[in-house]
Structure 1
Amino acid sequence: MAKQIKVIKCPNCGSIEKTEIKPEHYRCENCNTEYFLDSDDINVNVKYHNHNQNSTQTNYLDEANIKSIIIIVACIVVAIVFGSLISIFFKSKSYSNNSYSNPPVTHTTKSTKSDTTLPAETKNSVKDVNYHYCSLTLVENKPFIISIAQRKYSQSSQSKYFFIVHDLLAYKIVQESEIADLKLDNFGNVKWDSYDFTQDKTYLTAGKRAAFLLDKKKLTLTDVTSSLLENYPQYNTGIASINITTAQSTRGARVFHILTDDGQKIYYFPIQDKAYVDNNDFYMALKNFDQVNDSSEHTAFSFAQRYDKDFKLIKFIYVSPDGKSYYTFTSADVGDERTDGSGKFTDEASAYNIDNTFYRNSKYRLVSHQNLTPNRLYFSPEIVYFDDTSLIIKTKASASPDSHYNYQRLDTNTGKVLWTLSEDKIRIKEVTHLNDNFIAKQNCDKYAIISSDGTISKEITLTQEK
């Protein structure tokens, strides 16, 4: 077969510099590689020497490693893509199965109507409550808290006023209604005033523009602004302002003072439903005006006090037409003259004077009085609560200005201390007697049940909303 003439190059380095070592066998002058020619074709066959063998194998191994790495990376990429596709497939299927039970939350603007359910953190929940009135009342021997509350909300700058009734022992709100159409001041608030005209009926005024009747037995609040003077058409021309005050010659009794829309000034007694024009005729009419006629005897307690004199705990029984006590007592020393002109005090226990505002009126009588604890010292004492069978006082433990206060229940006949509670454990503002226990009001939304032995059996914080 004829041979074609071609340039013979070293298959290892490509050099054409060579030495023929025997027919058709050559050695490269550049890298010493030996190679020969195939007789069928001019194919170059390489014969490697030992000193180049390791280098050549290394080149082939590097190329193999690169290919392996590429294959491995490709497999990893394929696995990731395949796994992602499977995940998307199952997630889509899961959403399809649950789309009716758990719809996604959507948000809309104010101009778009939507049944959107907001997340809990964006709901317009109550963030603060300010109590303008609160009272604990017993209905069928069950304690209820009646309150006028101003609620401020997390998602609104405007507050609202509510009439709220809590069932204290059930820990829940049993009645709630918004008090609408109130006249707000420049700060968006309403000033409330109240007075218990009877044990069960309390009147309130809101911003001196509206009047409400609170019935503590029926647990109702009624707007009576337009009906107060309905039996007096000559005055019932509309209310420009209304407030609860006292008037001269009324023995300190509370009364409504009303300015009508046509400028008339009226005194109105709600329990008696009596209205008088505020002039001289009004004071003349009051001379023979009796608001109530209570002739029963009442038991009360008071501390006789006077600067630099010891306190004395006085128990007394009295009669007054309205059932209220108008007696005050002042401490004295042995040898001091009695203010009623009956001589000097001869013993420490009875050394106190009596001030009776209505001593000339036979309807007001002091039936009896006594120093209940003649041998005891008191430090800054106060009467916290009393009824015919119970007495709770507040007094410092010692004369030290750093001394803490104690609450004590005393026997109403002997003055013996029945139990003591430190103010470190509880701070009491008001007390209500319930069976053998006492309900202590700490503030409008916090109460405590005190057992007959003086232990705090339960503490209750009112819920802010239903």
Structure 2
Amino acid sequence: MAKQLKAIQCPKCGSVQQVALQPDTYRCTNCGTEYFLDSDDINVNVRQVPGTPPVNIPPAEMRRRVRWALLMAGLVVLWSVGTHFWAQHKRAGTTLEPDPIMTGRNEPPPSAWQTAESALVLGAGGQPVLVVAGAKATANHDAYQPVVVFYDARTGTVQQELPLPGGSRPRVPTVELERLANGTVLLCTDNAAYQVQANPPALPNVTASLLANQPALASGVVTLDRGDRHDDALHIFTADGRNLLLYPLAHRVYTADEAWDAARGRGPVAQRPAGPVRTGFAFSEASSDYPDEPIQLLAYQYRAGDGGPQVAPSFVWRKDFGGSGVFTSADPHVKRLITPQELAQARVLSYRDFTPGRQFFYPSVLYHDADYVLLTYYATASLGSQRFVQALDARTAAVRFTAPLPADGPLPNLALRYAGGFVVGRDRTTYTLSPAGELGPPITCD
């Protein structure tokens, strides 16, 4: 029987566009229907496979989409061109000024303090002088010059600026101030010591006189710096690798162990010099043994030394078990503000509560002499409460004046009495304080 040639059509949509998957099996590329031919060439079996048929976009829709794409591309081009011309317009209207420092038409900014320590001393005419010693950086901070600046503590005016010998250094040098028991202020830096003189401002080098007739220092001094502030010690590291303590007023040298023993009347120097009797003032410390005990202001008499090693008294309520060791609260003990052993070490002859019944919060003794005791304290136990500076009569404890301190100013830790009253301050900021307790505005010395 003769066969006729016929095109294979999709039984669902009639399309003749198909893809052969395997012998006699096809997939319609128009609607996605899979179908196959049986062996007698008569029946066509169809298997519908779920899926997304090819999308045929009508010509009208295609033209609409092309028009939208061209419109959006045109808007982007117009926005870019507009932005470019606007930026050029702004640049054209801006005049670039050369750096005045680079052209030499202006001075570079002043050097700034990197480290600084301060002391208050009396200058010419008995007027207060703030001495600031430290290191200043150059304008570009590539070198540091050790320097001492003398300011009028009442106005902040610079009286004299004295650079220390040796010139600027690539690293920040250490510059320290040390006030001795007799009021002398020394400046220590590198391996030298200078005496601070404010009338007139000067810094004579006193290293040779300090080291004279000291066999222990014969090898030479590598570094000379301030001790631990408990007494007048200067720490010296010698060229032969020894750490020694020099006491300028006593003009003696000790090892650390020798200084410890000498301060407590032990060892080879058990007999300490019998100096004059003086009066000191100190606040007691918070007690862990008796936490409910209030902070007290103590006046005490002590035997001054010759400027050698000395121990300051520490007043704190504690349980005295009569010696050192491991004890419990069940062991016999006595409640004491200071032990007899500590009294002997600090050479305290007597002491008393100077302001019985008064309550103090975070107090500090700023200054005292034969007439005044100047102190600071907070109004309450809150660190956000008002702060005060107060003057007491050094003989009777009567309040001479009380002045509130500004909340945004530094809490003073320096004080000096002069003919016009007091100057108090901290770091490079000072306040004047009249004899009536009138506090002047803060003066910050640059």
Quote the Cα distance in structure 2 between the aligned partners of 1:136 and 1:154.
Answer: 28
Quote the Cα distance in structure 1 between the aligned partners of 2:259 and 2:322.
Answer: 35
Decide whether the 8 Å contact of 1:151 with 1:161 is kept in 2. yes
Q: Give the TM-score taking structure 2 as reference length.
A: 0.59
- 1:382 aligned to 364, 373, 378, which one? 364
Moved more, 218-227 or 128-137: 218-227
Alignment of 1:166-205 (within 5 A): 166-169=151-154, 171-181=156-166, 184=169, 188-205=171-188
Quote the Cα distance in structure 2 between the aligned partners of 1:369 and 1:430.
Answer: 25
Decide whether the 8 Å contact of 1:372 with 1:414 is kept in 2. yes
Look up the match of 2:108: 124
Look up the match of 1:245: 227
Quote the Cα distance in structure 2 between the aligned partners of 1:282 and 1:382.
Answer: 26
Quote the Cα distance in structure 1 between the aligned partners of 2:300 and 2:259.
Answer: 36
Distance 1:357 1:137, change over 3 A: farther
Q: Deviations over 1:397-421 (max 9, x none)?
A: 2345653433333444245473230
Q: Deviation at 1:210?
A: 1.5
Q: Deviations over 1:175-209 (max 9, x none)?
A: 2222132795xx61112344323333233432xx3
Q: Deviation at 1:157?
A: 2.7
Look up the match of 1:452: 435
Look up the match of 2:15: none
Distance 1:236 1:448, change over 3 A: same
For structure 1, the 5+ residue unaligned runs are 1-106, 110-116, 342-350
Larger radius of gyration: 1
Q: Percent identity?
A: 15
Q: Deviation at 1:277?
A: 7.0
Decide whether the 8 Å contact of 1:165 with 1:175 is kept in 2. yes
Look up the match of 2:90: none
Moved more, 124-133 or 217-226: 217-226
Q: Deviations over 1:127-167 (max 9, x none)?
A: 42234222110134211122213222335632322122223
Look up the match of 2:297: 314
- 2:422 aligned to 426, 433, 438, which one? 438
Distance 1:199 1:108, change over 3 A: closer
Quote the Cα distance in structure 2 between the aligned partners of 1:267 and 1:108.
Answer: 49
Alignment of 1:272-311 (within 5 A): 272-275=250-253, 287-288=268-269, 293-303=274-284, 305-307=286-288, 308-311=291-294
Quote the Cα distance in structure 2 between the aligned partners of 1:438 and 1:358.
Answer: 34
Look up the match of 1:326: 312
Measured on the aligned residues, the alpha-carbon RMSD in Å equals 4.2
Distance 1:391 1:423, change over 3 A: farther
Quote the Cα distance in structure 2 between the aligned partners of 1:294 and 1:389.
Answer: 22
Q: Deviation at 1:318?
A: 0.7
For structure 2, the 5+ residue unaligned runs are 1-99, 324-334
Distance 1:431 1:264, change over 3 A: closer
Distance 1:271 1:442, change over 3 A: closer
Q: Give the TM-score taking structure 1 as reference length.
A: 0.57
Distance 1:237 1:310, change over 3 A: closer
Look up the match of 1:370: 353
Look up the match of 1:260: 238
Decide whether the 8 Å contact of 1:125 with 1:155 is kept in 2. no
Query: How many correspondences in the alignment?
Result: 324
Decide whether the 8 Å contact of 2:424 with 2:432 is kept in 1. yes
Q: Which has the higher contact order (CA 8 A, sep 6+)?
A: 2
